[in-house]
């Protein structure tokens, strides 16, 4: 099956900065694909290029068999978008938001009305059809934004940080919704800052930084390929001095962040035994996760 | 580009307007009505007839154009700016098959529709007070109102496109709208101005709108009809084109 979205050697420059610098990306049909990267890595620009909203300086974009940006309008009839900023219409009720948005896709009022109950049920907003937007909680608004993106029954859905700012309950509800969509065969492209979210939801992940792809694979593959299987985080007053002396003996790689020590190792037993003898140090032993990969590949420096 | 895809954008704005239609219409009507009646009766009593008609009758056409200009301007500045910048309504629409030209065309025609309503409201008052010389001739005001609305909606969208915030609109009001109200012939014939100011007034689109509207209220066909209509259309189209270029630079880059 041809890729749902294919970006080839994509370049986009703003003044001096090349925000997208030779990016390649293939979105396999029916998968959830995560696009991860620090702030300013080029995620949102990539999404906007992939929607045909802006023109690339070089490279090619194909979305659902349409060459972009030339055929963007035709391609977007089959696409749903959950934008980063809530852009729901505050003047409207929940129902009116969906009706008005469906019309932008050329749908007749009847057609939209017919699928309203299913959309509201999906978003957990049944019974809220006539509620005004300002009366909705943050989580409800995000779910409505998700329902709105489904009003045209799209084949592919772009989600730009869909759970930012939500509490865990609300986040889990969104996750359930996204799982139902992939189960229905929809293709998802998801950007997020939550590694846990990406690890749980995504079949495949692309990590980008400075506009380039720096790693790609299934979450488990990425973890296996880039970091040791175990992580021991050590905290305490002389954790760092201890690191200088002994860490190398017990673990393959060791990182200091402030007063905390991150020890990466394939075999943690000896390290843990040694730590047991040092009650003034607190430690946490856990399996390596996607965040470790992300921080290793993109560094711990703050980006704004 | 010639299709009806802008229609859902127009419908969206109409649906919002419908919820607040009565206060919105009253608001549109109150300000120009106060000008027309207050100045027309109050000041009019002290003034001699202008060109053979009482001041109130003279003022009527200016009031229509002033009201249409205001309505189109407010809609494309404050309201459109809220949709574009604050509520991100335009950005959301651009994620659908609609393009920026559809959004702007919808907004342009919407603002003109709304200002048409304002114009008709004043026209009804004019008819009610019997200020028109000839009813059928005064119907000619309708196309003038549409053209004036499109003119100022186009200009307003251009200003909207380059505005960093709501405060910026004050420049437009101070530098463009107020001079138009005071020099464009709403309150007196521009022929009364000294030559150098007359030249300036001739550049203002409101002058041309009033040059079309006033004779129609007073019962004769305007001179240079096509020229005035052309100026209004040219300002409107130029404004719309600038709005497209600058809004694209703002939202789609």
Q: B110 to chain A, minimum CA–CA distance in Å? A: 16
A49 and A113 share a domain?
yes
What's the token pair of residue A241? 């001095």
Q: What is the DSSP letter of B166?
A: G
Q: What is the mean pLDDT of chain B?
A: 95
Q: Does residue A159 belong to any structural domain of this protein?
A: yes
What's the token pair of residue B204? 């203002």
What is d(CA A203, CA A205) in angstroms, rounded to the nearest whole number? 7
pLDDT digits (tens, 9 = 90+) for A113-165: 999 999 999 999 999 999 999 999 999 999 999 999 999 999 999 999 999 88
CATH of the domain at A263: 3.30.70
Residues in A touching B252 (Cβ below 8 Å) = 53-54
Q: Does B8 touch chain A (CB under 8 A)?
A: yes
Q: Does A53 touch chain B (CB under 8 A)?
A: yes
- Point out the residue among A54, A89, A152 whose CB comes nearest to the CB of B87: A89
Q: What is the pLDDT of residue A244?
A: 66
Which of A82, A196, A99 shows the shortest CA–CA distance to A151?
A99
User: Quick one: B1 exposed, middle or buried, by C-beta within 10 A (0-12, 13-18, 19+)?
Assistant: exposed
Residues in A touching B95 (Cβ below 8 Å) = 51, 53, 76, 79, 81, 83
| pLDDT at residue A243 tops 70 | no
A109 and A64 share a domain?
yes
Residue of A nearest to B103 (CA): A104
What is d(CA B23, CA A110) in angstroms, rounded to the nearest whole number? 31
Q: What is the pLDDT of residue A281?
A: 84
Residue of B nearest to A151 (CA): B96
What is d(CA A110, CA B48) in angstroms, rounded to the nearest whole number? 62
Residue of A nearest to B252 (CA): A54
B 16-45 residues with CB < 8 A to A = 16, 19
Using 50, 70 and 90 to split pLDDT, how confident is the model at B2? low
Task: Determine which of A169-178, B1-10, B55-64 has the lowest per-residue pLDDT on average.
Answer: B1-10
What's the token pair of residue B11? 């419908």
The count of domains in chain A is: 2
Q: Please say whether the beta carbons of A63 and A75 come within 8 A.
A: yes
Q: What is the pLDDT of residue A236?
A: 79
User: A54 and B94: CB-CB below 8 Å?
Assistant: no
Which of A168, A199, A218 lies at the terminal end of a domain, its last residue?
A218
Q: Does residue A292 belong to any structural domain of this protein?
A: no
Residues in B touching A141 (Cβ below 8 Å) = none
Cα B64 to Cα B14, B56, B142: the distances in Å are 22, 12, 10
Q: Does residue A223 belong to any structural domain of this protein?
A: no
Q: B1 to chain A, minimum CA–CA distance in Å? A: 12
Q: Does A76 touch chain B (CB under 8 A)?
A: yes
A103 and A238 share a domain?
no
Q: Does residue A108 belong to any structural domain of this protein?
A: yes
pLDDT digits (tens, 9 = 90+) for B59-82: 999 999 999 999 999 999 999 999
Using 50, 70 and 90 to split pLDDT, how confident is the model at A104? very high
CATH of the domain at A101: 3.40.50.300
Q: Does A74 touch chain B (CB under 8 A)?
A: yes
Q: What is the pLDDT of residue B77?
A: 97
**What does residue A87 show for φ and ψ, rounded to 5 degrees?**
-120, 30
Q: Does residue A183 belong to any structural domain of this protein?
A: yes
Structural domain for A273, as ranges: 228-287
Residue of B nearest to A87 (CA): B88
A235 and A168 share a domain?
no
Outline where DSSP puts E strands in A101-236: 156-160, 187-191, 204-209, 212-217, 230-235
What is d(CA A44, CA A110) in angstroms, rounded to the nearest whole number? 34
SS (H, E, C) B5-57: CCHHHHHHHHHHHHHCHHHHHHHHHHHHHHHHHHHHHHHHHHCCCECCECHHH
Q: B13 to chain A, minimum CA–CA distance in Å? A: 10
Instruction: Name A67's Cβ contacts closer than 8 Å, sequence gap at least 6.
Output: A60, A61
Q: Assess whether the previous peptide bond of A69 is cis (omega < 30° from 0).
A: yes
A174 and A241 share a domain?
no
As a whole number, mean pLDDT of residues A18-35 equals: 96
Q: Does A15 touch chain B (CB under 8 A)?
A: no
As a whole number, mean pLDDT of residues A231-260 equals: 78
A128 and A14 share a domain?
yes
Q: Does A104 touch chain B (CB under 8 A)?
A: yes
What is d(CA B34, CA B55) in angstroms, rounded to the nearest whole number? 15
Side-chain-side CA neighbours of residue A210 (13 Å): 5
Reported ipTM:
0.92
Residues in A touching B92 (Cβ below 8 Å) = 83, 87-88, 101
- The terminus-to-terminus CA distance of chain B in angstroms comes to 21
- Which segment, A271-275, A290-294, B22-26, is predicted with the most confidence on average? A290-294
Using 50, 70 and 90 to split pLDDT, how confident is the model at A34? very high
Q: Does B3 touch chain A (CB under 8 A)?
A: no
A207 and A242 share a domain?
no
Q: Does residue A295 belong to any structural domain of this protein?
A: no
Q: Please say whether the beta carbons of B119 and B141 come within 8 A.
A: yes
Residue of B nearest to A104 (CA): B8
Which of A218, A250, A277 lies at the terminal end of a domain, its last residue?
A218
A207 and A236 share a domain?
no
Q: Does A299 touch chain B (CB under 8 A)?
A: no
Q: Domain spans of chain B?
A: 22-251
| pLDDT at residue B1 tops 60 | no
User: B91 and A101: CB-CB below 8 Å?
Assistant: no
Q: Please say whether the beta carbons of A227 and A295 come within 8 A.
A: no
Q: Does residue A299 belong to any structural domain of this protein?
A: no
Residues in B touching A105 (Cβ below 8 Å) = 96-97
User: A103 and B89: CB-CB below 8 Å?
Assistant: no
Radius of gyration of chain A (CA): 22
């Amino acid at each position: 099956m041809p890729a749902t979205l294919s970006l080839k050697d994509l370049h986009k420059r703003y003044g001096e900065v090349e925000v997208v610098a030779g990016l390649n990306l293939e979105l396999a049909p029916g998968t959830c694909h995560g696009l991860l990267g620090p702030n300013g890595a080029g995620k949102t620009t990539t999404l906007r290029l992939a929607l045909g909203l802006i023109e690339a300086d070089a490279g090619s974009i194909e979305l659902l068999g349409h060459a972009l940006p030339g055929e963007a309008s035709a391609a977007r009839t089959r696409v749903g978008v959950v934008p980063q900023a809530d852009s729901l219409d505050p003047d409207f009720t929940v129902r009116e938001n969906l009706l008005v948005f469906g019309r932008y896709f050329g749908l007749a009022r009847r057609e939209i009305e017919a699928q309203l109950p299913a959309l509201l049920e999906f978003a957990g907003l049944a019974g809220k059809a006539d509620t005004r937007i300002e009366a909705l909680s943050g989580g409800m608004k995000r779910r409505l934004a998700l329902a709105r993106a489904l009003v045209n029954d799209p084949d592919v859905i772009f989600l730009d940080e869909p759970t930012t700012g939500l509490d865990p309950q609300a986040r889990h509800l969104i996750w359930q919704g996204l799982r139902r969509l992939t189960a229905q065969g929809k293709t998802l492209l998801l950007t997020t800052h939550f590694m846990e979210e990406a690890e749980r939801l995504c079949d495949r992940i692309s990590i980008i930084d400075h506009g380039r792809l720096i790693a790609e694979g299934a979450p488990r593959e990425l973890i296996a390929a880039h970091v040791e299987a175990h992580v021991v985080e050590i905290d305490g007053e002389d954790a760092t001095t201890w690191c200088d002396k002994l860490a190398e003996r017990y673990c393959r790689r060791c990182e200091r962040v402030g007063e905390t020590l991150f020890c990466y190792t394939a075999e943690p037993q000896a390290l843990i035994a040694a730590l047991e003898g040092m009650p003034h140090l607190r430690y946490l032993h856990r399996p390596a996760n996607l965040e470790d990969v992300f921080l290793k590949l993109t560094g711990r420096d703050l980006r704004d | 580009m010639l299709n009806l895809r802008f229609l859902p954008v127009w419908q969206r704005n109409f649906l919002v307007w419908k919820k607040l239609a009565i206060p919105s219409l009253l608001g549109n009507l109150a300000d120009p009505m106060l000008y027309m009646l207050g100045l027309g009766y109050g000041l009019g009593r002290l003034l001699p007839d202008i060109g053979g008609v009482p001041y109130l009758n003279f003022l009527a056409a200016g009031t229509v154009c002033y009201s249409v200009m205001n309505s189109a301007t407010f809609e494309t500045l404050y309201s459109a700016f809220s949709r574009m910048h604050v509520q991100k309504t335009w950005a959301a629409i651009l994620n659908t098959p609609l393009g920026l030209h559809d959004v702007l065309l919808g907004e342009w025609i919407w603002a003109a529709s709304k200002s048409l309503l304002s114009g008709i409201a004043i026209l009804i008052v004019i008819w009610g007070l019997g200020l028109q010389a000839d009813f059928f001739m005064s119907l000619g005001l309708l196309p003038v109102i549409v053209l004036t609305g499109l003119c100022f909606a186009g200009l307003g969208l251009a200003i909207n496109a380059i505005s960093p915030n709501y405060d910026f609109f004050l420049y437009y009001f101070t530098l463009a709208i107020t001079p138009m109200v005071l020099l464009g012939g709403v309150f007196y014939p521009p022929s009364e101005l000294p030559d150098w100011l007359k030249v300036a007034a001739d550049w203002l689109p409101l002058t041309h709108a009033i040059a079309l509207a006033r004779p129609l209220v007073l019962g004769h066909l305007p001179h240079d009809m096509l020229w005035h209509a052309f100026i209004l259309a040219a300002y409107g189209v130029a404004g719309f084109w600038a709005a497209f270029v600058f809004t694209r630079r703002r939202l789609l880059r």
